[in-house]
Amino acid sequence: MDIRQLRYFITVAEYLNFTKAANQLYVAQSAISHQIADLEQQLGVKLFIRNKRSVQLTPAGSVFLKEAIEIVEKTSGAIEKAKQTDTGVIGSLSIGFLSVHVRSFLPNVIKQFREIHPKVELYLNHFPSKMLKESLEEGEIDIALTLPAGLDRIEEIEIQSVAREPYCIVMHKNHPLSGQKKIKLSDLANEPFIIHNRHASPVGSYDFIVHLCEQSGFTPRIVSKPRFVDTVPVLVESEIGISILPKSFEGVSSSSLRFVEIDGTLDSDCELVIAWKKNNLNPSIQLFLDVLEKEILTPKG
């Protein structure tokens, strides 16, 4: 028994006429008669009562018609779902991200994606940087929005730049230099610094900040190395010291803090990337990349 036989049977049952059914299906009447006879032989029951004047369903044929229609509909639905899943229209997508860095664009990207692809279920979670990279490497998430440092250690990784933002000097508004538009790092050589812990911070950021200071001729006097980056603005607000953070932290920090541009330091931007593994066959990844690119690159009116 195959789907073609069931379609032939359903069409004959609809018209109760082999000639009309053949015309509807664009096949020879003999082909339909042969397939119906073969189907009856497989089932071991008569489906139609036929004579020269009429064609009628048998009681067994009436029962089988309902089941045949359901089978054909389910098969068609299964085929369509398989095609949609293969193209990413139906499925799921797990995305991990660094919460502060994505606030300016990710909500709109998610909204647009859900409108365009309502049948793709999104799983969205904020991770600390180290856990984010580990989850991507282990295949626990499909996509990571993160900092690029350390991603080259993951095999079969694809990386695409998403955004860049400047690192800023973070200080309390009471600090004597808080009113400056730009500050040279060399002017802060004697300041106490608060820097996110090397072991918990995004790979390289601790060393990167120390390197920035050393480029300006001094080694920072670090007075605190909190485990969580969210603690850094709190300690600066407590006037324990100053810090260096990406500018995106300004939007989630106290109004008593000032984010001042670093003057004269080259390559002091923080880059955000989207990363995924080449061997991940989830077709929804490309659909998300398309929406992300459109949202970020298309000018807003």
Helix axes 3-15, 29-43, angle to 10 degrees: 110
* d(C-alpha 247, C-alpha 101), whole Å: 9
The CATH code for residues 3-87 is 1.10.10.10
Give residue 266's pLDDT: 62
What global pTM score does this model have?
0.65
DSSP class of residue 186 equals G
* d(C-alpha 88, C-alpha 284), whole Å: 4
pLDDT tens per residue across span 246-273: 988 998 889 999 999 998 766 668 888 9
pLDDT tens per residue across span 68-99: 898 888 887 777 767 766 666 678 899 999 87
- Which residues of the chain fall below pLDDT 70? 81, 84-89, 200-204, 265-268, 297-301
Which DSSP helix (H) or strand (E) runs through 98? Answer: none
- Token digits of residue 83: 């095609």
* d(C-alpha 263, C-alpha 255), whole Å: 22
Give residue 142's pLDDT: 95
The CATH code for residues 91-162+271-297 is 3.40.190.10
Nearest to 175 by CA among 250, 258, 262: 258
- Cβ atoms 275, 127 nearer than 8 A: no
- The full set of domain ranges for the chain reads 3-87, 91-162+271-297, 165-270
User: In CATH terms, are 3-87 and 165-270 the same topology?
Assistant: no
Which of 3.40.190.10, 2.60.410.10, 3.40.50.920, 3.40.50.1240 is the CATH number of 165-270? 3.40.190.10
DSSP structure string for 10-70: HHHHHHT-HHHHHHHHTS-HHHHHHHHHHHHHHHTS--EEE-SS-EEE-HHHHHHHHHHHH
